Amino acid sequence: MSNCKILYVCQEITPYLPETGMSKLCRTLSQSMQEKGNEIRTFMPRYGNINERRNQLHEVIRLSGMNLIIDDNDHQLIIKVASIPSARVQIYFIDNDDYFSRKYMLTDAAGNYFPDNDERAIFFARGVLETVKKLRWEPAIVHCHGWFTSVVPIYLRYVFDDDPLFRNTKIVTSLYGDRFPGELDPNFASKIASEGVPADKLELISHPSYENLIEFVIQQSDGVIMETEDPGAQIAGWLKQSGKPVLEYQDKSDTAYLDTYQKFYEGLL
C-alpha cells in the first residue's frame, strides 16, 4: 500500500506538546508511514502553549486568510507549518486568535475545560478540511486522534461528501481514554447543523457527552483503532454492535505494531 495518501488529524503531537501516549503515537505514525513510502499530511491545533520561535513555526500565506463562520461569527483561519527535524515530517497547524491564543490546550490553569471547546473543535475540523481542499490533495485515509478531532468524520460524511477530493476517503478513528466531564455546549449540534449537516442526523449529540460523541463518530467511521485497553463497557458495546472493523489495542513497546496499522488501512481500501 505504499504511495497511499494518509491524512492524520491529531489533537496533540510531540515535540510541540508534552509527551503523552497520543502525542507520541501521532508523531511516530506520521514518520513511519512516510518512511514506508506513503504520502502524508499531518494537522494539529496551534495551541497557545506551543512555542512558535523554538519550534520554528511560520505562516503559510497562500493557505491563510479564509474566514470561517461559526455560530454566525467570522473567525480568520491562519495556517502555520513546521518540520520535525529528526523525522523530516511536516506538521500543519490550524490557528486563530479567538480560539487558540490562550496559553493552554483544552483546560484552563485550574483544569476546567474551556466552555467554547465545541466551537474550537468545529473550527479545527473545518480548517483542516478547507486547507486540504486548497492543497488539492486527495486522501485515501483520514485517521483522527482524540475527541477534539471528532467533528472531522461528521463533516466528511455530511458536508464534504460530494467533494471529489473526499468521495472515496476512508475514515479511521483511534479511541483513547480522553474523556471530558459533563457535556460540551448544549448548542453544539445546532452549530454543526448550520454548516449543512441535516439536523435529524445529529440527534445523538443533542446531549454532547463524551460517550454520545464517540458513539456518533464510530457510526461515521469505516474502521476503529483501540488506543486504550479499556474504552468502557458502553463504548465497547457500541463497537461490537456497529460491526465496524476494529484493530484491537497494540503493545507500543515493539515497533511491529506499525505494520499492523498499515495492514488495517489496506484492509479498508
Question: pLDDT band for position 196 (50/70/90)?
Answer: confident
pLDDT digits (tens, 9 = 90+) for 124-180: 999 999 999 999 999 999 999 999 999 999 999 999 999 999 999 999 999 998 999
Q: What pLDDT, on a 0 to 100 scale, did the predictor assign at position 65? A: 87
**pLDDT tens, 33-57?**
999 999 999 999 999 999 999 999 9
Distance CA 68, CA 88 (A): 31
Segment 90-120, tens digit of pLDDT: 999 999 999 999 999 999 999 999 999 999 9
Q: What's the confidence (pLDDT) of residue 82? A: 97
CB–CB of 178/111 below 8 Å? no
Point out which residues pair with 84 in neighbouring strands: 89
State the average pLDDT over residues 244-254.
94
* pLDDT of 1 higher than 60: no
**Is residue 2 predicted with pLDDT exceeding 80?**
no
Query: Is it true that the peptide bond before 139 is cis, omega within 30 degrees of 0?
Result: no
Cα–Cα distance measured from residue 35 to residue 29, given in angstroms and rounded to the nearest whole number: 10
* Helix (H/G/I), strand (E/B), else coil: 124: helix
> Residues 141, 210: contact at Cβ < 8 Å?
no
Write out the H or E segment, with its range, that includes residue 58. Answer: strand 58-59
Q: Report residue 144: phi and psi, to 5°.
A: -100, 135
Indicate the pTM of the whole model: 0.97
Pairing of strands 78-84, 73-76: unpaired
Cell, residue 231: 474504552
Mean pLDDT to the nearest integer, 182-211 = 94
Given the DSSP bridges, would you call strands 141-145 and 78-84 parallel, antiparallel or unpaired? unpaired
Whole-angstrom CA distances from 147 to 42, 63, 73 are: 16, 25, 24
Confidence of residue 86 (pLDDT cuts 50, 70, 90): confident
Percent of the chain with pLDDT over 90: 90
Contact 182, 195 (CB under 8 A): no
